[in-house]
Amino acid sequence: MKIMITGVSRGLGQALSYEFSKLGHDVAGCASTQSAVLKLQAELGANHHFSTVNITRDEEVSVWVHTLANSWGVPDLVINNASIVNPPSPLWHVPVNQFEDIMSTNVTGVFLVIRHVLPLMIARGNGFIANISSGWGRSVAPNVASYCTSKWAIEGMTLALAEELPQGIATASVNPGSINTQMMRTVLNPDEIDAPLPDEWVKTAAPFFLALSDKNNGEQLDI
C-alpha cells in the first residue's frame, strides 16, 4: 500500500512512517523541518519519499502531491496528521498570529492536501483520507480553545466531505486518543500524563489505519 502522511518530523507521523515501512508499505511524508525529513529519507530508503513542505501554502502542496503522483504514484491512504497547539491560555489572551498559525496548519493544511490529492484518487477510482482529529474535536477544555476550534473544524469538514465523495473514495475523522507526545507535554504537566509513547501507540494505530475502507466513510473514529 502507498501511504501519504503529513507532519512526519516527530510524534505520531514519525512513528507511523517507521511502522508502516517496517510492515512493508511505501510511505511518502512531509514536514516543515528539513533535518527530520532528511533523517527519515536516509533511514527508510529509496522506496519512500520524504519532502520539506509548508502545508499551509497551496503551491507547495500542489507541487509535492503532483510530483509524487508522477514519480511514486497516487496514495491509497492519506493521513492528514500535521498539527500544532499553542501554549495554554484563555482564548482572549491568544495572540492573533498564534490563532492564525493554528488554523492555517490544522485546518487549511488539511484542506490543501485534500484539494490536490482527491482528484487523483477520484480519477483512479479509490482511496481513503483519514483526518486526524482529537478528543478536543468532540469535547472542549479550558485554555486550548483555539486548538479545539481547529479540531471541531476538522470534524465538520470531514463529515461534509464524506457526503460529497463518489463511490470508492472515503474519508473519516480519527481521534488518536491520548499519546505522550511533545504536543501533549505543551499543554499538560508531563508528570500528569498517563499515556503511551508514540512508539507504543503505533502498534495499535498502524493496523487500525490499514483496515480502513469505504465502509468507514463519514465515521468519527477512535483508536
CATH of the domain at 217: 3.40.50.720
Res 7: pLDDT? 97
CA atoms of 75 and 121, how far apart (whole Å): 8
The pLDDT tens digits of the residues spanning 55-69 come to: 999 999 999 999 999
Residue 107 has pLDDT above 90, yes or no: yes
Residue 83 has pLDDT above 80, yes or no: yes
Q: Three-state DSSP class for 52?
A: strand
Residue type, 70: N
Residue 17 has pLDDT above 80, yes or no: yes
Residue range of the domain that includes 73:
2-222
Res 29: pLDDT? 98
Active centre residues (catalytic): 147
E strand or H helix that includes residue 63: helix 58-71
Q: Are β-strands 2-6 and 26-31 bridged in parallel, bridged antiparallel, or unpaired?
A: parallel
Res 195: pLDDT? 79
End-to-end C-alpha distance for the chain, whole angstroms: 20
The pLDDT tens digits of the residues spanning 109-130 come to: 999 999 999 999 999 999 999 9
Using 50, 70 and 90 to split pLDDT, how confident is the model at 189?
low
Res 194: pLDDT? 77
Residue 148 has pLDDT above 90, yes or no: yes
Res 186: pLDDT? 77
Q: Rounded to two decimals, what is the model's pTM?
A: 0.96
Res 191: pLDDT? 67
Side-chain half-sphere CA neighbours of 147 within 13 A:
24
**What total of structural domains would you count in the chain?**
1
